[in-house]
Chain A
Amino acid sequence: GEDVEQSLFLSVREGDSSVINCTYTDSSSTYLYWYKQEPGAGLQLLTYIFSNMDMKQDQRLTVLLNKKDKHLSLRIADTQTGDSAIYFCAERRMDSNYQLIWGAGTKLIIKP
């Protein structure tokens, strides 16, 4: 995951919006993903965006993609305690033969 970078921690108050950021390096990336991992669990696909899109919204989740800056963000509106988890950004490159390249994950901490 060294080519995909994320902050290790984000702390927000319950009810506020959380914005988790990710930068990637390969301009040929076709799809970019956000996964959620709760303690001791596998990875849950939250949402993904195709590289020709700028934004995708799905209920409380909004994904923004800035291809010029190779920057991806995930906004979670009205953050709840159940959103506490590690959030991974991943990219699928055109030449990657189906594999996903992952960031190290951002741990979202919810303060009451």
Chain B
Amino acid sequence: DAGVTQSPTHLIKTRGQHVTLRCSPISGHKSVSWYQQVLGQGPQFIFQYYEKEERGRGNFPDRFSARQFPNYSSELNVNALLLGDSALYLCASSFQVYEQYFGPGTRLTVT
């Protein structure tokens, strides 16, 4: 069975640009969460979606937005990129609320 997939694997953007990151959950999983992991730190929660509805939002500015599609895949959008947005962006899917399975992440570098 395929695990959580994310695209792209790596991305380099310039300050002020916009980026869209994509995630496909494990088949049968209806919940997707997004996390930001800065080098040397644990992940920070950004969003959680269940059945296309936002169920949770972390302490991130409005430049960060997300959505979930009818097939349960998800996009994370970040506008007006800052150098501090450089990080590994992780997507996790879950069937049961207490289990989250992570994808390999998208490494975003902002220059």
Contacts and interface: CB of A to CB of B under 8 A. Distances in A.
Interface of A: 1, 4, 30-31, 35, 41-45, 48, 50, 88, 90, 92, 96-105
A50 B97 CA distance: 13
A44 B102 contact: yes
Nearest to A99: B45
Contacts of B100: 45, 100
A88 B43 CA distance: 9
A99 B33 contact: yes
B61 to A, nearest CB: 17
A101 B41 CA distance: 12
A99 B105 contact: no
B90 A99 contact: no
Nearest to A30: B98
A99 B33 CA distance: 8
B98 A4 contact: no
A45 B56 contact: no
A97 B98 contact: no
